Structure 1
Amino acid sequence: MATENEDGRTRRLDEVAEAAARAFRLLPAAPQDLPGPGGQGAAPARRISADPDTVERDLVRLVLTLVELLRQLMERQALHRVDQGDLTEAEEERLGATLMVLHDRMVGLCAQYGLTMEDLNLDLGPLGTLLPPAD
């Protein structure tokens, strides 16, 4: 029999699973995701090629995508802290300069490997793209 602590965790996991199921039911299917007349689904989303000639570039693309996702999350957190008034004016200046340098370095790394920032925005199929559209 589960202890009270385990039962509480199990109940919480069940609540999370139920919330996720509700969220996915709310996502509309895009026309290209619906089965065709012959019962065939849409073509799979573009995948990273495993071609030995491009494996380094593809790996760099994947790593830079993860770094860009983290950079954007840090930027949002920084903006939230600025909006909340948690930072002094000097801290805001330093944070803004750091985020600009980080963005410039990301652009430079992309250029070094022949990528654009748009190349880092992976298509997640029916969920949409990984990163929000560029402003």
Structure 2
Amino acid sequence: MKLVLTIVELLRQLMERQVLRRVDQGDLDDDQVEDLGTALMQLEEAMDELTEQFGLTPDDLNLELGPLGPLLPRHRP
């Protein structure tokens, strides 16, 4: 389950960055920004619930890739 949640968290963070890029570029209208923001918040809440349910922390999902460093950025508390 840890690997599955790690992959989902990686995808969540990638989607979040893509949304931020599109917002910065002005590619989205206000309704799209609102909808995407709500969806990302719900996904983050679901991830928090799942990690708690399985006794994991966000740091548990951050695989160490040796000389490449951690898989995920360490910006979440």
Of all paired residues, the percent bearing the same amino acid is 62
CA RMSD of aligned residues (A): 0.8
One-letter identity of the residue aligned with 2:3: L
Say whether 1:91 aligns with 2:27. Answer: no
**Runs of 4 or more consecutive aligned structure 1 residues displaced over 3 Å after TM superposition:** none
Matching of residues 1-135 of structure 1 within 5 Å: 60-135=1-76
Structure 1, unmatched stretches of 5+, are: 1-59
Greater radius of gyration (CA): 1
By percentage of residues, which structure has more helix?
2
TM-score by length of 2: 0.95
Cα distance in 2, alignment partners of residues 89 and 105 from structure 1: 24
Structure 1 residue 86: deviation in Å? 0.6
Structure 2, unmatched stretches of 5+, are: none
Cα distance in 1, alignment partners of residues 36 and 25 from structure 2: 15
One-letter identity of the residue aligned with 2:63: L
Cα distance in 2, alignment partners of residues 127 and 91 from structure 1: 35
TM-score by length of 1: 0.55
Structure 1 residue 134: deviation in Å? 1.8
Structure 1 residue 77: deviation in Å? 0.4
One-letter identity of the residue aligned with 1:76: R
